[in-house]
């Protein structure tokens, strides 16, 4: 399914001054009908422990790509 969207893999640091970040995930569209597709956005700790995913259900989000031309938005609220 990687051909339906452009993968994003970048370390983003949030701190006292920088409390949010906008990331664009490119989803490729064409004129052919396709069933809904899914992918996940996950938040990882870039520390020295091999980048485990942060704990909690709010660190992984399922994204559904609909066969529509409407943009979407995804936000993680500070736990």
The model's pLDDT over 8-35, given as tens digits with 9 standing for 90+, comes to 888 888 778 888 888 887 777 777 777 8
| 79 found inside a domain | no
- Is residue 74 predicted with pLDDT exceeding 70? no
The predicted pLDDT at position 78 comes to 67
* Residue 60 host element (H or E): strand 60-65
Higher pLDDT, 72 or 62: 62
| 75 found inside a domain | no
Question: Which tokens go with 30?
Answer: 């064409």
Overall domain count for the chain:
1
Cα distance between residue 9 and residue 11, in whole Å: 7
Mean pLDDT of the region 39-64: 81
| 43 found inside a domain | yes
Domain that holds residue 35: 1-70
| 77 found inside a domain | no
| 30 found inside a domain | yes
| 58 found inside a domain | yes
């Amino acid at each position: 399914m990687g051909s339906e969207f452009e993968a994003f893999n970048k370390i983003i640091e949030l701190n006292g001054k920088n409390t949010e970040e906008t990331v664009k995930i490119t989803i490729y569209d064409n004129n052919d009908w396709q069933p809904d597709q899914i992918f996940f956005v996950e938040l990882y700790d870039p520390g020295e422990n091999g980048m485990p995913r942060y704990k909690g259900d709010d660190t992984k989000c399922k994204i559904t790509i609909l066969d529509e031309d409407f943009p979407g938005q995804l936000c993680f609220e500070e736990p």
